[in-house]
A and B are shown apart, each in its own frame.
Chain A
Amino acid sequence: MKGTLLFNALREAIDEEMYRDPLVCVMGEDVGQYGGSYKVTKDLYEKYGEFRVLDTPIAENSFTGMAVGAAMTGLRPIVEGMNMGFLLLAFNQISNNMGMLRYTSGGNFTIPTVVRGPGGVGRQLGAEHSQRLEAYFHAVPGIKIVACSTPTNAKGLMKAAIRDNNPVLFFEHVLLYNLTEELPKGDYVCALDQADLVKQGSDITILTYSRMRHHCLKAVELLEGKGIEVELIDLISLKPFDMETISKSIRKTHRVIIVEECMKTGGIAAELMSLITENCFDDLDSPPVRLSSQDIPTPYNGNLENLTIIQPHQIVDAAEKIINNGGVD
């Protein structure tokens, strides 16, 4: 097969950074001998040994806190959440320690850590394994939040996250690991704080991230067939938002839809809408619209699961209504 699978792109990034800097290490459940549940750390245990690729007991709270202590004393740990949902158990360490400690210590310590793993709604994994924790962690000060969406940005962002001196929550999507793409040659990094202008257009801006980028791409194709030119932006950075790129696009199109997999209440779009209202109000010809998941635990049943998250046709409908009627209602 031509190209690189997304999980292998992540693996390459971690491998290259571990080779480059002996202080970079990985810790988490089944990251070592097993190679990671989604094989993101495959073969690294053999290559770097048991201390640099540390298989931990099932103790999210404590091994995440251990990463904080290791980072405070000079290491650059990458913590794998086998499923990002499990990190609810480490909420205290991520919030109180990873996020706040540099500030409360008056700059005494830095916490160069990456917390990464699969999030999002998969295929019938049930409510607990289908969470979108980026929204839950959004209010925590002092952490950067990024979401990768293609093999190319997965690798470049992972390398940037590892090199960053701040704690970074790095969201992968459980359904994107098998995407394939030819990667740029050589050592490259992607900026953690820059949105990706996926496609230029003049009629309407769509802001999205992670797996929804691909739903949006399908919608963009359908809308093009109807003569509607979409400007598609992958946010990449969920905290802080790249408001420069976002504002520039809205100044051009005067219309915006945010498409997310988060639940509507307290979601990423909720915060982004507020910022757009604060910063771009005069540039808008119609109210900003958000398309979010239902405010419910993700159901197991496949049909119900599909109804829970946004589908491409809903994006098409919303865009058409905004352009033709000035709003979705």
Chain B
Amino acid sequence: MKLIHAKQGDLTDEETLVKQCRAGNNMARKSLYLVYSKRLLAVCYRYCGNLDLAQDLLHDGFIKVFTTIGKFEWRGKGSLELWMKSVVAHVCYDYLLAQKAKNEVELKEDNDAVDEATLEDESMAAQLTERQLLDFVAELPEGYRMVFNLYVFEKKTHKEIAEILGINEHSSTSQLHRAKYILSKKINEFIKHEAKK
């Protein structure tokens, strides 16, 4: 069946998939799932830092995608993937924000001086695998991780991040820089450790 073999970037089939999903066609839904699920799982993992929880959030994310796909507007190549990522990310940070007790500790405003984030060996860092990079993000403290994801991947401004997370803009900036510092430190240590082997 044509729909099963739909590939990302194939405009006609992507549009067809959307139409069929709106009509409640389960084959089309499954096709959409097969094309994007692995990518969206990585998004969930980036946000929550736990693979089991990421699978659960992906489940909720797809339910949200299929129930709100009627609101999606086709805006050219890649728009469907962007929209799906946005929906799934929304599900993730909504969930994380709902864990209030945890987040109140993590999202406290931090006015300490921002440390410098520097990659000592950029060429070695470029050779790191996607999974290794994902693990580094997953290991970030939850508040930093959310700000980092929203800023780097969702392209949100600090103002928007502040509104989403209920913090002030300065705190968002500070947490982003701290996240980057932690990441650079982890990458540098990892590269050194690998070099010693």
A and B co-occur in one complex: no
